[in-house]
Amino acid sequence: MSEIPTAPPSGFRDFLPEACLARARVIDAISRVYRSYGFSQISTSAVEDLAVLTGKGGGENEKLIFKILKRGDKLASAQGSSELADLGLRFDLTLPLARYYSRHRGVLPSPFKAFAIGPVWRAERAQKGRYREFYQCDADILGSESSCCEIEVISAVLSVFKDLALPAPAVLLNDRRLLFALCDRWRVPPDKRGDFCIALDKLDKTGPDAVLRELGGLLGGAASEELRTFVQSGTADPALLSAAAPGHMANLLAIRDGLAKLFPDYGSFAVSPALARGLDYYTGTIYELRLATSAGSLGGGGRYDGLTEKFGGPRTPACGISIGFERLMLLMEGNVKVPGPDACMTVFSEDLRPACLRLAAQLRGRGLSVDVYPGAAKLKTQFKYADSRKARFALVLGPEEAAQEKIKAKELATGQEYLLKLDELVERLA
């Protein structure tokens, strides 16, 4: 018997009631803010055809797909081959959105502002703070090329952080087309641009020396002095950038200034020429939100104008942002109020249970949360239970109270006891 695991599989998690409630509250806050910006929630299945998940510019994530074994006859005839799986768990919310939009665009508003919140799965090596099942909270706008889309999705996430009373983040902005112009300047072969970005994206993790070694490999020789300075400082001469891609630089500055006007007292906004992001499907602007107090990014996204085309539809301009929910929860830890029920109703004796259940039903009907002790136990045990539930009050309806048509309410934080009629009790609990 002891061989059956009671822990979830490595990299997966159970959430205890308090953690679960904290997560639910933060998800509620994110949904509320996204809705206030006019985004509509959509939902797709956890499972996608493998053909949807592969070959779409998911970068390293494509190697991390949890694949689902074929079933029945299909499995039998696949035995021994390498095509044992036909389905997979989604590794992000962007590919499913692109598929969804390609299928349903005819009945969706245009432009389409969508948000999605849900788990994604990646078969990464499990390590502290990195999970195989984690939540993403994405907001996207499809069908508009305007830079107001970038302003809108970044604003939405800033409003979420503000709503959650998080410290103001730094917003880093860049554009893949600027990076590509620099690639041309530094003679990175066009077919190696994606690899260039992925290598650059590791700057935070592996440091400039390792990145330069990797870039040397891509270039087939040592990096130029200019490229070395770029990688080591993470910045580039603004004149150089403007010269490389003047229109895109102006666009970035317009986004930066638009955001700075909307958030004069919250956040900083800067073009960050070495910001690369790790996904191949980005075609234009890219952005990331970081906190001084926390390693890595709290969220980010970019423009992926070509993705819907890969599902057979026309080219659709699109840009989106994703909140790194698990990292956000680490920051929120302990800051989310997780109250217990308003009251725990004790059961004095079995013959009084019906009266206790009726009272609880009345209180619930008035919008209160009331736990009734499920079982028979000494009052002392029942009070301990009320404590363990973090209830605000424990209620007693014994023969004395019943005779007076009153209820005894004990405030557990203070020990104060009250003898109250139903209406008085509702008032005290509310």
- Binders in 61-100 for its own copies, by CB under 8 A: 66-69, 71, 79-80, 84-85, 87, 89, 99-100
- CA-nearest of 151, 145, 46 to 91 is 46
Report d(CA 430, CA 415) in Å as an integer.
Answer: 18
Q: Is 292 in the site for its own copies (CB under 8 A)?
A: no
The piece of 190-198, 254-262, 321-329, 399-407 that touches its own copies (CB under 8 A) is 254-262
Q: Is 91 within 8 Å of 46 (Cβ atoms)?
A: no
Binder of its own copies out of 228, 310, 406, 428 (CB under 8 A): 310
Q: Is 281 in the site for its own copies (CB under 8 A)?
A: no
Angle at 355 between CA 349 and CA 357, to 5 degrees: 95
- CA-nearest of 87, 18, 2 to 53 is 87
Q: How many CB atoms lie within 10 A of CB 241?
A: 22
The piece of 19-27, 185-193, 245-253, 324-332 that touches its own copies (CB under 8 A) is 19-27
By CB under 8 A, how many residues form the interface with its own copies?
A: 105
Within positions 350 to 409, which residues make up the interface with its own copies, using CB under 8 A?
353-354, 357-358, 361, 364, 367-376, 385, 388-389
Q: Is 280 in the site for its own copies (CB under 8 A)?
A: no
- CA-nearest of 96, 137, 99 to 118 is 137
Q: Is 421 in the site for its own copies (CB under 8 A)?
A: no
Q: Is 332 within 8 Å of 22 (Cβ atoms)?
A: yes
Nearer to its own copies, 158 or 244 (CB): 158
Report d(CA 289, CA 173) in Å as an integer.
Answer: 9
Binding mask 107-126 for its own copies (x = CB under 8 A): xxxxx-xx----x-x-x---
Q: How many CB atoms lie within 10 A of CB 7?
A: 8
Q: From the CB of 153, what's the least distance to its own copies, in Å?
A: 9
Binder of its own copies out of 74, 77, 104, 189 (CB under 8 A): 104
Q: Is 416 in the site for its own copies (CB under 8 A)?
A: no
Nearer to its own copies, 25 or 406 (CB): 25
Within positions 160 to 199, which residues make up the interface with its own copies, using CB under 8 A?
none
Binder of its own copies out of 44, 229, 268, 294 (CB under 8 A): 44
Report d(CA 353, CA 126) in Å as an integer.
Answer: 49
Q: Is 261 in the site for its own copies (CB under 8 A)?
A: yes
- Cα distances (Å, whole numbers) of residue 155 to 136, 258, 322, 389: 17, 10, 12, 38
Q: Is 106 in the site for its own copies (CB under 8 A)?
A: no
- Cα distances (Å, whole numbers) of residue 355 to 77, 85, 358, 411: 63, 57, 5, 21
Q: From the CB of 355, what's the least distance to its own copies, in Å?
A: 10
Residue position matching structure tokens 């423009």: 303
Q: Is 103 in the site for its own copies (CB under 8 A)?
A: yes
Q: From the CB of 16, what's the least distance to its own copies, in Å?
A: 6
Report d(CA 233, CA 20) in Å as an integer.
Answer: 42
Question: Per the structure block, which two tokens stand in for 89?
Answer: 């768990």
Q: Is 227 in the site for its own copies (CB under 8 A)?
A: no
In DSSP terms, 294 is beta-bridged to none
Q: From the CB of 132, what's the least distance to its own copies, in Å?
A: 8
Report d(CA 401, CA 419) in Å as an integer.
Answer: 8
Binding mask 22-41 for its own copies (x = CB under 8 A): -xx------x---xxxx-xx
Question: Cα torsion for 108, 110, 113, 116, to the nearest 10°?
Answer: 30
Q: Is 210 in the site for its own copies (CB under 8 A)?
A: no
The piece of 142-150, 199-207, 229-237, 393-401 that touches its own copies (CB under 8 A) is 142-150
Q: Is 49 in the site for its own copies (CB under 8 A)?
A: yes
Nearer to its own copies, 230 or 263 (CB): 263
Nearer to its own copies, 52 or 211 (CB): 52
Angle at 425 between CA 423 and CA 430, to 5 degrees: 100
Q: From the CB of 120, what's the least distance to its own copies, in Å?
A: 11
Q: Is 306 in the site for its own copies (CB under 8 A)?
A: no
